[in-house]
Structure 1
Amino acid sequence: MEPDQVLSVTELTREIREVLQGHIGTVWVEGEISNHRLQGSGHQYFTLKDAGSQLSCVMFRGARSGVRLSDGAQVQVHGEISVYEPRGQYQMVVKQVQMKGQGSLQARFEALKRKLHEEGLFDQDYKQDIPKYPRVVALVTSPTGAAIQDMLNILTRRAPWIHVLVFPVRVQGQGVEKETIRALEMLNRAEAHGLPVPDTIVIGRGGGSIEDLWAYNEESLARAIFASQIPVISAVGHEIDFTIADFVADLRAPTPSAAAELLAPDVTELKRHFESLSRRLGGQVMTLLDRHEQTLDFIARGALKTAPAYQLQTAEQAVDDLEDNLKVAAKEQLRGLGDLIQERQQIIVEHHPRIMLMEAAHRLENQAQQLQQKISHKLERLADQVTSRAQLMKHLGPESILARGFSYTTDAQGNVIRDAADVEPGQTLVTRLQQGQVTSTAV
């Protein structure tokens, strides 16, 4: 073997890395996580394995991960096959992680979301207003979960006057959407079932994975929420969780506790508000009573009590004076309006289209006459100039010179001969006189 064909370990490892990256590129790989460790830098290292093999993986800080990595989790990872050169070990640089089966669920979620959006189930025009001070609230949730306890504690503390109706349903596993749909249907016919009619319905449960919350992504439940005549609040999962129920409900609360806070105004704040209203109302009532008391006192001590006939006569006379004043004012007003109308009519007459056209025609005729005069004067001056130039040209022209006994000679082509040296023997010459011309031949 030639020495130049021997590769160093680094060179061979680098070629292997280039072959792996160039041939395989980025791929999705499915398996179980083991030996997971999180470094202080934020990078995560783990092994992805199945029954037959294992693959070393590294996920650098900043990569997208929709799940919390832990040993035993069945995941699908997306990344690039590479080689860690210092150890000569091939590995996968993970860019994205999702739970096994999550990809198909996400695709179903997006497809249903797009379909219902196109049908208009998410339109704001169909959203019902949530009552500000509800009297009856129905909670559709598990009777044993943490969500119901949180909502009851908040409602009891903030608004103890609200009547809470708990409709127990499963919130995980098979049949969740069917029980929730049945709850909505019964609550919308609560009076027929002997139940108090709720002002608002809350569908709630705690957070979970996409699989745990999938029942709230079912189309049948979405259509049942949309069909509800009672406003529905969706309080499913944590703040970062979104389901189809959130989009179609009349209001989405980030958590069940937040839904309870939205429904129940703080009793302390309400008390302060009512106390403020009471003080304002009391002040207005006292002011009104004082005013009426002053009026009654004035009537009791005034002339109306001692001489009512005189007071009435005086008032009637004052009314007559006001009537006369009104007539005078009306006449003055009408006279002023008449003058204004005449002024406006005069302006209209002066600006009538016929008058304006006549004035414009008169102006145009005057301008045409002025223009004609200017053109005539201009032409006369030009004619005088032409005559003067003609006389000058005649005086300075060749005919005047020939008349004084002069002549000039040209060749046969009409070129003027100015120098005898330019004439060749035998050349034809033409001499022009005042009367006629003489043809000669040079010798």
Structure 2
Amino acid sequence: MEFSSLSEWLAFIEAVHPVEIELGLARTRAVAEELGLLETSGPKVITVAGTNGKGSTVAYMGAMLKAGGYRFGAYTSPHFLRYNERVQLDGEAVSDALLCEAFSCVEAARDRCNVSLTYFEYGTLAALWIFRQQPLDVVLLEVGLGGRLDAVNVIDPDVAVVTTVSLDHEAWLGADLEQIGLEKAGIFRATAKAVLGDPGLPASVAAKARSLGVEPLVLEQDFGRRKGVEDWCFYGVDQSNAARSIGAIGEPRLPEENAATAIQALLSAGLALSDEAVRTAVSRARLTGRWQECAYHGRKLVLDVAHNPQAAAYLGARLAREEGTTRCVLGMLDDKDVRGCIKALAPHVTDWCLASLGVPRGLPATVLLDALQQTDSEALATCHDTVDEALDRAVAESAAGERILVAGSFFTVAGVLARLEQEQ
């Protein structure tokens, strides 16, 4: 099978498998082995799983590697505007041509193996193939869903990171935190360092590491942050467990705990990081759709993909530190805890513009309104057929300089990002 454009390849891989999500490693492993992707020699591999914080942790590590002069590849998901965002080399999205070449190689190997692949499995294998063609020092792999049965888990990591665990994707991962934690801990290996980015993770996570003979490094126990007046200090250990500290780190735009987790993960991989490279990276690290600020018609837009209660609570705490009022453009999917998210944001929002999402699993605005009214019967809210219409209303009802929050889903944020790009 051959196609001349990336859009044709993406249409093909999206349609070829009978279901969107089908967890399991057998199909991916068979094709990866056929492509020679399971060879153990090569760059250091750091795999990151977690309900929230995966993207920020990978973004921090990428910024630190770049500042330190390392060559690295990063595979993340989902994307906002272009598929290329998922596969990066040294912080830059790869070209259409390279992705097409990768998909062609994956498809040929898949055909020889006589197996079917999901959209995510195709993408994972394409990213791994691209990384194999490059002289890289480090590969950063972000788990798509869960960990144990996620396609990226065909690769054995040198360092395995679990950032946070909360209720999300229960239909695939389990209905309680211990079970979900165990799924995410499936990325651990007996030969890999384990880094836990939250001291309150379910007991099943650390227990899984210890069952493999690995003592995990835990945030606020083995590594973490010490706050100063205007900055903070990292404390942790290097690959040989010798103490390491880095002082005078400025306040970042992304969560500090993820910065500390990223530093510890890189140190655990045996990478040399100068204090200055870390300071530079922490101050520069950014991530699309995570407290992403931009101006729009004189308003202050804040774009954040928060779509579960834990992420919404973090976003609410961030809003509490800001001056002024917040209007919220909210659109969500039907497998999310809508009431939990709204409850976390409601104390910080003065007016809601609720948007229907015209995508699979997208919720009508009226369902969001019902959830909002159960939380706050006096909340000010309007319902809209699209994210564009909801944003128009938020702009029309606000004054210059006021803040408009766009949240609830990658689709909600992507819709606004597409509009911003179109109007530039």
TM-score range, shorter chain: under 0.3
Q: Please, what TM-score do these two structures have when normalized by structure 1?
A: 0.21
Between Structure 1 and Structure 2, the one with more helix by share is 1
- Greater radius of gyration (CA): 1
TM-score w.r.t. structure 2 length? 0.22
- Structure possessing the higher relative contact order (Cα contacts under 8 Å, 6 or more residues apart): 2
